[in-house]
Amino acid sequence: MTSSLRTVTVLGTGVLGSQIAFQAAYSGWKVTAYDIDDAAVAAAGKRLDALSQTYATELTGATGNAAAARASIIVTSDLAHAVTDADIVIEAVPEVLDLKRELYGRLAPLLPEHTVLATNSSTFLPSDLVTFTGRPDRFLALHFANQIWKFNTAEIMGTPATDPAVFDQVVEFAGDIGMVAIPIQKEKPGYVLNSLLVPLLNAAGELAAFGYAEPHDIDEVWRIGTGAPFGPFQIYDIIGLTTPYNILAHGDDKDRAIAAWLKENYIDHGKLGLATGEGFYRYPAPDPGEPADA
Ligand code: NAD
């Protein structure tokens, strides 16, 4: 461990917060996780137990100890207690701007002076939040991907006010907890990953929704033509169809038509992707996936 950021607090213990907490603990960091109330703390316990199983099964041969990591994580609904000792606080609460701003307002007076604050927000820029932090020089985005233990990129993106030394500290921290750290040189909605991925998924959705080609044929073209392991509809299934649906449903006329197609043909039939056993493909399926309509 070379990072100067040695104690980690994660705010929000949902899908991503629990994974970030677990990954840091698994990498040997002292981790505290905060959520709003007793029910959320209990749910966090279940998520962390499940992650412990996942790490133990999927990372065989790795040096970390999943059970020890699980046991080391403190979960609390006391915000002041959660951050009292934090070198870095990583916020992973719901993607609602006012909710994040309100939390930052309560957090600012509680944070030790040296603490770095990072948001895991997927769609907001750190500039949307910076004025609520009380520490513009020590605030930035640190964006993880879902299933952090195998999709291990961490995109780091500051505001014009972020101290370059803090930026570098966070790049180092991300590497030390097992991530491939990707520095983003200026603010960009979607970082690198979603700047590339969202247009690909939308273009694939347009081809299928407007009847140009079948999803599994589109995937095949992409895999053969580029050498990529997954086609766009396999990626839809991995992400889960609801998130792209929610983004498209707020877009222009074409986006909304694609959203309606996703809803009517898949979501309304419970075909939400890998997590529900069926989306564009059925799971478990032989590589590269059996078309659901086969
Ligand atoms: P989620 O809904 O699964 O979890 C949110 C958690 O925050 C819940 O445990 C909830 O109880 C808690 N919470 C609600 N209000 C809170 C508050 N005021 N203070 C503290 N905790 C509070 O959400 P998620 O999918 O984990 O997303 C969290 C953040 O991570 C978002 O900013 C999202 O953009 C980002 N993100 C999500 C993904 C993903 O694939 N889900 C990927 C990358 C980044």
**pLDDT, tens digit, for every residue of 49-72?**
999 999 999 987 777 799 999 999
pLDDT in tens, 231-270: 999 999 988 999 899 889 989 999 999 999 999 999 999 9
Name the residue of 34, 93, 97, 119 whose CB sits within 8 Å of the most ligand 1 atoms, as the mutation to test its pocket. 93
Q: Is the pTM of this model over 0.85?
A: yes
Beta-bridged to residue 118, according to DSSP, are 90, 140
How far away, in angstroms, is 213 Cα from ligand 1 center? 35
Mean pLDDT of 7-33: 97
Q: What is the pLDDT of residues 220-237, one digit of tens each?
A: 999 999 999 999 999 999
Whether 81 and 101 have beta carbons less than 8 Å apart is answered as: no
CB atoms within 10 A of CB 168: 12
290 forms bridges with which residues in the sheet?
A: 282
Q: Check pLDDT > 50 for residue 294.
A: no
The closest of 228, 213, 220, 186 to 290, measured between CA atoms, is 220
Asked if residue 286 has pLDDT above 60, the reply is: no
Nearest CA residue ID for atom 44, ligand 1? 122
- Whether residue 209 contacts residue 265, with contact meaning beta carbons closer than 8 Å, is answered with no
Q: Using a 6 Å CB cutoff, which residues line ligand 1?
A: 11-17, 34-36, 40, 92-95, 99, 103, 120-122, 143-146
> Is the pLDDT higher at 209 or at 294?
209
d(CA 54, CA 146): 13
Report CA(229)–ligand 1 centroid distance (Å).
Answer: 29
pLDDT in tens, 81-94: 999 999 999 999 99
**What is the average pLDDT value for the chain, to the nearest integer?**
94
Average pLDDT value for residue range 32-57: 97
pLDDT at 284: 85
Task: Give the pLDDT confidence of 124-183 residue by residue, as tens digits.
Answer: 999 999 999 999 999 999 999 989 999 999 999 999 999 999 999 999 999 999 999 999
